[in-house]
Structure 1
Amino acid sequence: MIQTDGAFGRPTRHAPPLLNARHAEDYWQQATRCIDLVRRKMASVDRPFTGAHPEELKRLFEGIDLDAPLGELRPALEELERVYLDDAVYFHHPRYVAHLNCPIVLPGILAEAILAPINSSLDTFDQSAGGTFIEQSLIDWTANRIGLGQDADGVFTSGGTQSNLMALMIARDHYGAALADHGDNKHEGLPADYRRLRILGSEVSHFSLQKSAAILGLGYQAVMPVACDDHFRMDPAALKARLEECLAMSLIPIAVVATAGTTDFGSIDPLEEIAALCRAHGIWLHVDAAYGGGLLCSRRYRHRLAGIEHADSVTVDYHKTFFQPVSCSAFLVRRRSDLRHVTHHADYLNPLCQAEAGTPDQVNKSLQTTKRFDALKLWLTLRIMGADALGEMFERVIDLAGEAHDELARHPAFEVLLDPPMSTLVFRYRPADLCETELDELNAYVRAALSRNGEAVIAATRVDDKRYLKFTLLNPDTRLEDLTAIVERIVHHGRAWCEAQAPTRAAAS
């Protein structure tokens, strides 16, 4: 047989670099080199981002010919370090406080090292075997933590957007199936009155509601925003008024989406009151707990999810507040029979007779066919660390958000929007004598300067058409000293901007 220069060197016709018994030792050696590269990069990172601009990174790819392979691992890793790792955004750094990206626990990473090479596909039992039961066990565990009852079920998904899409699709089809003159949407398409269907969510709910409505053939106009209170929680009185408005206009509300952890504010809608209204009107209640789902593991803050047990369906993102690698998420329903709306039997994959015989094929509950074994990450985490440890990590960032709020609230040059309900803090730098347009420009400049200099990565949003900055805290290793240092740099860059604008402002006055 013609030999190769390593399983991941130059392949020949007779020995392609496939992971198998013949190449097990090569796999070990090459994987170790990859792990060592990551180890060295993680150990040397001294800032969350280098500040590289898109155009600067784009130039690194000039001259790379994907039809001219490098042939060996070493030069490929050297190239990868240059085009990716050197300028990656490192979520584990304590001064990355931008989006809902968490540092990840070691058991989750170790699970990736197992699930990737075995490469199980969890759509059918005959491709995954025990993996099916691991995923199902975690669905049952999560449903129990939520309090959905013994008939609950669900499936792992790619993330909150897919889970929310599934929720609204099932709510739509649940309505269609109940019509006396309509078979079901899968076979007959949308009912004649589909243009009157409405989805109600708070005015700060996730944008995936609009995306889902469009995908489901209902259009953006189907999503009716419900006003919030001063703490950016859905106002039950406003929801009641919206439902009455629907009745008066002959519109058909098919779902209410309550949010347990809004992206911008971390606010949790009053789930008990919303659930009562949904029961009174016979409307599907979906709770988007993609962010707030981590409270299910918290002993001190679990009560903030009171009422979630009344939901018809729930979204949970383990790759946010359970500290798991992307992607790791789930969609759950109170009644397992509702998952029939996503089921389709194919003779070559999941025939009906197989389901009738009791074979647990996850594809019967999923929008995806091929399904990665993402459940292994949470499984290994729970088996090694336990749920309490995850809850304590989330509690630390919630506590930190409160401490940071108190510090900023005492600072005369900062405006803090609200006491954080979870781990997100919304504020802006507001020195005296600046108009709203200038404040917007100032805060945009500050955020860009922090990133460009590699000092910190923070987020931004708009509230009442005003620009605000945002700390999204998901790193238990971040300390108040880190946030204080970021605030000091905000003040530094803000003063520099004001000094640069002073001549222009003086001339204008």
Structure 2
Amino acid sequence: MNTPPLAGGTAGPDALAPLLAAVLDALRTGALDRGGPPPAGGPTTTAHRVHTAAHPLLPDHGTGPDAALGPLVHALTQGAADPADPLCAAHLHAPPLALAAAADLAASVLNPSLDSWDQAPAASALEAELTRTLARETYPAADHPDALLTTGGTEANQLALLLARERHPPPLHLVHGANAHHSLPRAAWLLGLPATHPVPTPTGTLDPEALHHTLTGLTGHPVLVAATAGTTDSGAIDPLPALADVCAAHGADLHVDAAYGGPLLFSDHRKHALHGLDRAHSVTLDLHKLGWQPVAAGILAVHHTGRLDPLQHTADYLNSHDDTEAGLPDLLGRSLRTTRRPDAFKMAVTLRALGRDGLGALVDQVCDLAATLADKIHHHPALTLHARPALSTVLFRPTDADDDQVAAVRRTLLDDGHAVLGRARADGRLWLKATLLNPHTQPGDLDRMLKLVEGHTPR
């Protein structure tokens, strides 16, 4: 048996070329065969197609690359919920830029691991450049801000809570709005903290007076308050300056989950909505949402690098003291993970290629598109709009439908392969959710979406 070629080294590009041609062809034909945002037919149909393409998955004798790669890429693509389709708009799951995907290919080929410098010399230097840049973007006036890369908002929120726990005497109490991401109370559970203190958010955002009342009841206890800049359900942004004032008055730490809304910082027209963000002790960002990166692209930014000290850790084979003293960078304290992909690379390529104005324009584009959709719904005789969008998420529902009918409309569109819409509860009712992250979506696509919803609503 011939030894399969490697992706790296001087011979790697020649070995990759025919494989990439097969991949690109299967991506193209798979998307054409899918014919819509998701595959039609639901889970059973998709599972059958995947089984047919993959079986047997571990044969006694391999099929060779042509018979494995092309059919499986085709099956993956045909069965994808493709965020590049304008009617795939359920989740905070952006279509990645071609540029970022190409950069990610280079990172995969070279396969650096960010747990020691001798595995990732250039990648670790570029990660340091990226984290300094994003930390400074988040905390423009801080003396020594810093940032870490994470797998996404969930890991960043968990790290924020861990760092706050290590900074204070036990037990740390977490206070968060009822609008907060589920990862925050879950992180408290994982870290063995007391039950969290959710503050009701009947208007959709965390009320400073309600927060003051909750913190008054926790006087004498160390507290981390978690605010949100871009809720998952509606994109709402908490009143950050007022919440920062309340936290300062009570001596509470403030963390802001800006996994969704953070990239407003790139927009000259919209960054005012994040006024007060730099008063937080830590901030979660995630560029696989309004940053158009392949997963993963999470960031935790802190206002001072000393906040990261609890993560310091030594494993002699990775960061021995004598190597560190000799000048080799210590990477092990930059994450709770050991092996880490060079996720900084695709982000760095994107930031340099597009610049602040290019990224800001994309952010403005999808937020403006959401405003357009809201206008269309507002004037539609058979649809009801929940509220004007704060970011790029729009909640709406058929006016005369009950919750069961709303849920059925969503599932029918999904099963038929016509559209992928999300769901959210607000004001005691179930709403359809359109999360617009595709900057190529046109107003006509929005009209198609609304026509599909209206056409599938029971009379």
TM-score when scaled to structure 2?
0.94
Identify which of 105, 124, 132 aligns with 2:116: 124
Pick aligned residue for 2:188 from 200, 213, 222 = 213
Q: Which runs of 5+ in 1 are unaligned?
A: 1-10, 177-190, 499-509
Query: Bigger shift: 347-356 or 90-99?
Result: 347-356
* Distance change >3 Å, CA 356–CA 307, structure 1 → 2: farther
Residue 32 (structure 1) aligned with residue 1 (structure 2): no
CA distance in 1, matches of 2:440, 2:33: 17
The one of 202, 207, 210 equivalent to 1:238 is: 210
Give the structure 2 partner of residue 51 of structure 1. Answer: 40
Compared with structure 1, are the counterparts of its residues 224 and 45 closer, same or farther at alpha carbon in structure 2 (3 Å cutoff)? same
Residue 424 of structure 2 corresponds to 461
Shift of residue 150, structure 1, vs aligned partner: 2.7
Is 1:145 aligned to 2:133, yes or no?
A: no
Q: Deviations over 1:422-471 (max 9, x none)?
A: 1111111122xx6xxxx011111111121122221110122244211111
Per-residue CA distance 1:303-345 (angstroms, 9 max, x = gap): 1110011111111101110111111111111111121111111
Q: Which residue of the partner structure matches residue 506 of structure 1?
A: none
Aligned residue number for residue 479 of structure 1: 442
Partners in 2 of 1:470 and 1:326 — Cα distance? 22
How much does 1:229 deviate?
Answer: 5.2
Worse-superposed segment, 233-242 or 442-451: 442-451
Of the three residues 270, 294, 304, the one matched with 2:263 is: 294
Give 1:65 deviation, angstroms.
Answer: 2.6
Map 1:160-309 onto structure 2 (within 5 A): 160-176=153-169, 191=170, 194=171, 197-218=172-193, 221=195, 223-228=196-201, 230=203, 232-247=204-219, 252-309=221-278
Could you say what secondary structure the match of 2:318 adopts? coil
Tell me, yes or no, if the aligned pair for 2:199 and 2:214 is still in contact at 8 Å: yes
Q: State the one-letter code of the partner of 1:453.
A: D
Deviation larger for 356-365 or 382-391: 356-365
Q: Is the 8 A contact 2:31 2:77 kept in 1?
A: no
Contact kept, 8 Å, 2:139 with 2:303, in 1: the verdict is: no
- 1:446-457 mapped onto 2 (5 Å cutoff): 446-457=409-420
Deviation at 1:228, TM superposition (A): 2.2
Cα deviations by residue, 1:194-251 (Å, 9 ceiling, x for unpaired): 3xx31011111000012211110125x2x21122252x1110001000101223xx6x
Task: Say whether 1:359 aligns with 2:348.
Answer: no
Q: Which is further off, 155-164 or 143-152? A: 143-152
**RMSD (Å), alpha carbons:** 2.0
- Residues 175-212 of structure 1: CA distance to partner in whole angstroms, max 9, x if unpaired? 13xxxxxxxxxxxxxx4xx3xx3101111100001221
Between 1:140-149 and 1:90-99, the stretch displaced more is: 140-149
Question: Take 1:477 and 1:21, find their aligned partners in 2: how far apart are those partners?
Answer: 37
Alpha carbons 2:202, 2:427 under 8 Å: kept? no
In structure 1, give the amino acid aligned to 2:180. Answer: S
Identify the match of residue 128 of structure 2 among 136, 139, 147.
136
Shift of 1:76: 0.8
List 4+ stretches of structure 1 deviating above 6 A: none
CA distance in structure 2 between the partners assigned to 1:421 and 1:253 by the alignment:
32
Distance change (3 Å), C-alpha of 1:243 and 1:301: same
Letter matched to residue 154 of structure 1: A
Equivalent-residue separation in structure 2 for 1:321 and 1:355 (angstroms): 37
Structure 1 position 95 matched with structure 2 position 87:
yes
Q: In the alignment, what sits opposite 1:501?
A: none
Query: Residue 149 of structure 2 aligns with which residue?
Result: 156
Deviations 1:35-93 (A, max 9, x none): 33224445676421122322223334278233305431221134314542212111101
When residues 79 and 38 of structure 1 are mapped into structure 2, their CA distance, relative to the original with a 3 A threshold, is closer
SS in 2 for 1:170: helix
The secondary structure found in structure 2 opposite 1:420 is: coil
Task: Name the residue aligned to 1:79.
Answer: 71
The structure-2 alpha-carbon separation of the partners of 1:326 and 1:305, relative to structure 1 and needing over 3 Å to count, comes to same
1:374 to 327, 343, 366: 343
How big is the shift at 1:110?
1.2
Trace 1:58-69 onto structure 2 (pairs within 5 A).
58-60=47-49, 61=51, 64-68=55-59, 69=61
CA distance in 1, matches of 2:129, 2:73: 38
Contact conserved, 1:51 with 1:452, CA < 8 A, in 2? yes
Superposed CA deviations along residues 384-443 of structure 1, whole A, max 9, x for unmatched, are 222211111111111111121122122232222111111111111122xx6xxxx01111
Q: Match for 1:105 among 97, 105, 120?
A: 97
The one-letter code sitting in structure 2 at the alignment partner of 1:48 is: P
CA distance in 1, matches of 2:416, 2:34: 14
Report SS of the residue matched to 1:269. Answer: coil
Alpha carbons of structure 1 residues 42 and 87: separation in structure 2 relative to 1, 3 Å: closer
Q: Where does the alignment leave 5 or more consecutive residues of structure 2 unmatched?
A: none
Contact 1:155/1:362 (8 A) holds in 2: no
**Paired residues of 1:201 and 1:225 also in contact (CA < 8 A):** yes
Partner secondary structure for residue 454 of structure 1: coil
Contact kept in structure 1, 2:371 and 2:389, CA below 8 Å: yes
Deviates more, 1:264-273 or 1:444-453: 444-453
* Amino acid in the other structure paired with 1:17: P
Give percent identity, aligned residues only: 35
CA distance in structure 2 between the aligned counterparts of 1:332 and 1:22, rounded to whole angstroms: 39
- Once the two structures are TM-superposed, the CA of residue 286 in structure 1 deviates from its matched residue by 0.8
Correspondent of 1:346 among 293, 298, 315? 315
